[in-house]
Amino acid sequence: MITYETVSFTARQGTAVELRQMQPAEAGRLKALLSHPEVQPHIVMRCGAGSQQAVLDKLAQRMIHAHDPCALHAGIYARGGQELIGTVSLQNWNRHEGKAVLGYMLHPDWWGAGFTTEAVGLMLSYAVQELGLAKAEGRCRGSNLRSERVMLKNGLALDRILPVADGSGDVIKVFSIVTQLK
């Protein structure tokens, strides 16, 4: 796939979770997830002009309506459930080179049950088989051991460690997987 039209996610079903395209009615749930105090420290939102609420609104709309040709977002749902419990994404997706950055988040009520690990595996499988993804990269703060385990369980390996520029002494761990040669 070399063109940059937007791509709609094709639903995937795992043992415990389902990945589906998010619906406009779920915008409120998505914004609540993005702003949840336990989730917020683990995600990076590029804050352009406007208030925090305006940034959340814009991001949620882009994720739900697939307005970004360089990203693909899917909602995470407990299998058979209707409530959005998280998201998994390909971000900064360079289709020509077959590279993307993996992003994911899950509501804290669902942490520790393997849902994120399965959702990331489903997205990676879809991205490789259907979209020709050759390399994926994922990032987490050095202290985020849960996220680190999700990536390791899905075959990503620690690639490099970067210092956080805020003077906190924290680091960003960068994991990657090469799925095929382009």
- Would you state the pLDDT for residue 164? 86
- Would you state the pLDDT for residue 57? 82
pTM of the predicted structure, to 2 decimals:
0.90
- The gap from C-alpha 105 to its chain's centroid, in whole angstroms, comes to 6
Q: Return the CATH fold of 12-134.
A: Aminopeptidase (3.40.630)
Under 8 Å between Cβ of 60 and 30: yes
Under 8 Å between Cβ of 87 and 119: no
Question: What is the chain's pLDDT, residue by residue, as a tens digit (182 residues)?
Answer: 445 666 778 899 999 999 999 999 999 999 999 989 898 877 765 555 566 778 778 888 888 877 678 899 999 999 999 999 999 999 999 988 999 999 999 999 999 999 999 999 999 999 999 999 999 999 999 999 999 999 999 999 999 999 988 777 889 999 999 987 55
- Would you state the pLDDT for residue 44? 65
Boundaries of every domain in the chain: 12-134
- Would you state the pLDDT for residue 50? 61
Beta bridge partners of 99: 94, 135
CA–CA dist 62, 31 (Å, integer): 12
- Would you state the pLDDT for residue 49? 57
